[in-house]
Amino acid sequence: MADCIFCKIANGEIPSTKVYEDEHVLAFRDIHPLAPKHVVIIPKRHVQNLNEIDQLTEAEQLALLHACKKTAALAGIEVSGYRIASNCGPDADQSVQHLHFHVLGGGKLSVNMA
């Protein structure tokens, strides 16, 4: 999608601080972190949100889940704990219309799922 900021990041048109990458996904540091460790994981192929995940191949879907675990390990929060969140739609305050997961950790997280 031409005007999608996450597609532009995946295509290298907008710089990011990469944490992990494979053929299907890209993980990069969030520019407005909500936790000491905050990484965003996106599929390289555009789908709007979790409601459209079936448009991704099973390999792409599995790569997203694997990237969450791998990113937590690379961020050093695999043992201490982390949260994975994905906002889906306007009531959930999805700010970028490209499926993405937040991996948050690095300290005690509040109950608030902002």
Q: Is residue 33 part of a domain?
A: yes
Just list the catalytic residues: 100
Residue 11 is part of which domain span?
5-105
Long-range own/partner contacts, residues 85-91 (CB < 8 A, 24 or more apart): 85/113, 86/49, 86/50, 87/49, 88/49, 88/50, 88/51, 89/49, 89/51
Q: What pTM did the predictor assign?
A: 0.92
Q: Is residue 89 part of a domain?
A: yes
Confidence of residue 1 (pLDDT cuts 50, 70, 90): confident
Question: What's 77's domain CATH number?
Answer: 3.30.428.10
Q: Taken in order 104, 110, 113, 114, is the CA torsion positive or negative?
A: negative
pLDDT, one tens digit per residue, over 33-86 is: 999 999 999 999 999 999 999 999 999 999 999 999 999 999 999 999 999 999
Residue 10: its pLDDT value, please?
Answer: 97
- Residue matched to tokens 């005690």: 108
Domain count of the chain? 1
Q: Is residue 110 part of a domain?
A: no
